[in-house]
Amino acid sequence: MYTDLGSRPRCSEAMNDGVLPIGPDRDIANVLAKSLAKRGTKIYAEARVGSLQHSETGLIVPFETPKGSDKIEVDQVLVSIGRRPVTEGIGADQAGVRIDERGFIEVDTNTMLTSLPGVYAIGDCVGTPGVGTPGLAHVACAEAVVAVDHMLGETPVPVDYGKVPWVVYTYPEVAWSGLTEAQAKAAGRNVVVHKHSFAGNGRAMILGETDGLVEIVAEKDGRFSASTSSDRGPANCCTRDTWRSTGRRCPATSAG
Ligand SMILES: Cc1cc2nc3c(=O)[nH]c(=O)nc-3n(C[C@H](O)[C@H](O)[C@H](O)COP(=O)(O)OP(=O)(O)OC[C@H]3O[C@@H](n4cnc5c(N)ncnc54)[C@H](O)[C@@H]3O)c2cc1C
């Protein structure tokens, strides 16, 4: 966003790869990295930021990389390094609602019931298994459907956290769901991967938006496993594909 508003952002990330170090396939993340670099955003990967100092005109940001120490001078610093649940002091423990060591409320994800009968929890305050905690609005919404179904005495379909669609609202946008090629291979899956660049897509050419690609990861027997893409507006496709693969109706797009 800041790149497109005309400032010259400097982005430092402690992890390898710099742009989107966790999440989509590297090929997809690299589309965004290249696009940002082309438009003047400098990315420092594996850069551990130290204590900031004031200068006469702004702020000095020192950082360490495997190549050594460096520093940059900037006007403003925006720190964006994760979120955590705010569950201290709400009386959960006293009421009998168990909270784990990271501060997340423990739930049975089949029903979203907490350890206290009749009390449900959904959303960012809930710790979910396996894939980390997808703190996303549509996950909170899907968990609420599970909770309300259970309250009404129905048999809820639990959220499949391995198939949550993720979207990064950058330009170009990045979206993915399911396993990346590397994750699928690490899980012992026999996969085939198809990549289709927007450079060869007629609609993308007409729009002048040829940066990006769609990647499909499938098992060799043909079962759809994952899709990732990077371009303008892949979010709807990824979300729709994922909802289709889970057999649910997609609430956001009404796609069947
Ligand atoms: C900068 C940013 C960008 C994001 N972008 C996206 C995105 O693009 N796509 C996406 O899917 N998700 C995005 N998210 C995540 C999304 O906002 C959350 O996953 C979603 O809001 C979670 O819903 P929730 O109901 O669990 O929590 P919230 O929406 O945080 O609602 C919790 C509510 O509880 C209230 N509350 C807290 N403590 C108390 C208390 N003690 N008593 C009473 N009320 C209390 C809070 O004030 C708040 O209104 C983003 C989040 C941030 C911070």
CA distance 87 to 91: 9
Q: Tell which atom from ligand 1 comes closest to the C-alpha of 123.
A: 26
Q: Judging by DSSP bridges, how do beta strands 68-74 and 166-168 pair with one another?
A: unpaired
Confidence of residue 112 (pLDDT cuts 50, 70, 90): very high
Residue that is written with structure tokens 């893409």 in the block = 229
Confidence of residue 18 (pLDDT cuts 50, 70, 90): confident
Confidence of residue 71 (pLDDT cuts 50, 70, 90): very high
Confidence of residue 170 (pLDDT cuts 50, 70, 90): confident
Instruction: Report pLDDT digits (tens) over 216-252.
Output: 888 887 666 566 666 655 555 555 555 444 444 444 3
Q: Judging by DSSP bridges, how do beta strands 48-49 and 59-65 pair with one another?
A: antiparallel
Residue 172 pLDDT: 87
Residue 33 pLDDT: 92
Q: Are 18 and 10 in contact (CB under 8 A)?
A: no
CA distance 181 to 42: 28
Q: Tell which atom from ligand 1 comes closest to the C-alpha of 90.
A: 41
What's the one-letter identity of residue 26?
Answer: R
- Indicate the domain borders of the chain: 10-74, 92-151, 168-253
Q: Tell which atom from ligand 1 comes closest to the C-alpha of 89.
A: 41
CA dihedral 27, 29, 34, 37 (to 10 degrees): -160
Q: What's the 84 CA to ligand 1 centre distance in angstroms?
A: 11
- CA-nearest residue for atom 42, ligand 1, is 90
pLDDT at 131 over 80: no
- Give the right CATH number for 92-151 from 3.30.365.10, 3.40.1190.20, 3.50.50.60, 3.20.20.70: 3.50.50.60
Average pLDDT, the chain: 85
124 ligand 1 Cβ < 6 A = yes
Residue 251 pLDDT: 41
Q: What's the 196 CA to ligand 1 centre distance in angstroms?
A: 35
CA distance 203 to 2: 27
Residue 161 pLDDT: 86
Q: Do domains 92-151 and 168-253 have the same CATH topology?
A: no
| Residues 6+ positions from 22 with CB-CB distance below 8 Å | 15
* 200-228: b (≥16 Cβ within 10 Å) or e: ebeebeeeebebbbbbbbbeeeeeebbbb
pTM: 0.78
Instruction: Report pLDDT digits (tens) over 19-40.
Output: 888 888 888 899 999 999 999 9
Residue 249 pLDDT: 43
CA distance 58 to 44: 19
Instruction: Report pLDDT digits (tens) over 114-124.
Output: 999 999 999 99
Q: Ligand 1, residues 2, 136, 146, 168: which to mutate, most atoms within 8 A of Cβ?
A: 136
Instruction: Report pLDDT digits (tens) over 82-95.
Output: 788 999 999 998 99
- CA-nearest residue for atom 35, ligand 1, is 86
Q: Tell which atom from ligand 1 comes closest to the C-alpha of 138.
A: 11
Residue 95 pLDDT: 96
138 ligand 1 Cβ < 6 A = yes
For 10-74, CATH gives 3.50.50.60
pLDDT at 129 over 80: no
- Give the right CATH number for 168-253 from 3.40.50.720, 3.30.300.20, 3.30.390.30, 3.40.1190.20: 3.30.390.30
